[in-house]
Amino acid sequence: MSADQAINILVTITLVELMVTIGLGVTFADVARVARNGSLVARAALANYVLVPAATVGLLSLFHTPPLVAAGLLVAAVCPGAPYAPPITAIAKGDVPIAIGLMVMLAASSAIVAPLLLHVLLPVTSAEELPSVDVGRMVGTLLLTQLIPLGIGLTIRHVRPRLADRLRKPANWLSIALNLAVGALIVGVDFHLLASMGAIGFEGMSILVIAAAVIGWLLGGRGRGTRKAMAFSTGVRNVSVSLVIVTASLPGTPAVTAVVAYALLQTVALALLAAAWGRWTR
């Protein structure tokens, strides 16, 4: 088995386990609370599926990003619904139930919307140097690895809440371990690509992280807690989904390394922002 095949298998297992874990900690009431707020849902969709991808395309053009690196960052940009958004929102003293509802709705919808956006936007940023995106295959993969496991977790939580409570802690630890293993494996295999990105690459990623959070804040509506939830739900992109896409479509390329680099940067930057924000609020 090649290193690329091992990475692809591991990131797929990680995403499936992660989505089940998310479902175990979420009730249908959490999702329904957000779903009933049509204005919030519309603004979240606008922020995550229109404005953040548009800002990404603009930054990639401005920095003249190499095609494969641009592809990786664009994949991250169209994949919202990260499981780390609610904990970071809690650190910032934001509205955690809203962050949970947004996370589930964005994670579920991205299984269909993200491949469609990539089909349209990848040719804009990467010209002819990339293989065409098989939208049908990508949607099928994300449904199997993202939407179905999420539904399983939600169902267990609804039908057997005590069982869900018992499973959550070990599932969270397993999720952390799998994510660390994925990151270590990719960095170990592609460290030379990570080192070659340079300061200009990380500068562009930093701007994108802040831009995504600002977009979420501006579209968060009324209420400081809701705006914080929207800011971090928009700012934190779903790296697990991004890795499933790039390791399947662009294995062993700088696209994979770009997603990992972006993951590290966004985690540190937004965690520090949340901590400062929470401290200032308190």
Cβ atoms 18, 182 nearer than 8 A: no
Residue-wise pLDDT for 156-173, tens only, equals: 998 999 999 999 889 888
pLDDT in tens, 216-275: 999 998 888 899 999 999 999 988 888 888 888 888 788 888 888 888 888 888 989 888
For residue 254, what are the contacts with CB-CB under 8 A and spacing of at least 6?
Answer: 66, 68, 69, 72, 190, 193, 196, 197
- Phi, psi at residue 133, to the nearest 5°? -85, 125
Q: Where are the domains of the chain?
A: 3-276
**Model pLDDT for residues 113-143, shown as the tens digit of each residue:** 988 998 888 888 766 566 566 667 777 777 8
Q: Which CATH number fits domain 3-276: 1.20.1530.20, 1.10.1510.10, 1.10.10.10, 3.50.50.60?
A: 1.20.1530.20
Q: Which helix (H) or strand (E) holds 282?
A: none
CB-based contact 41:105 (threshold 8 Å):
yes
Give per-residue pLDDT as tens, 44-95: 999 999 999 999 999 988 888 888 888 889 999 999 988 888 888 988 988 9
Q: How do residues 172-217 score in pLDDT, each as one tens digit?
A: 888 888 878 877 776 676 655 555 565 566 788 889 999 999 999 9
First to last CA, the chain: 52
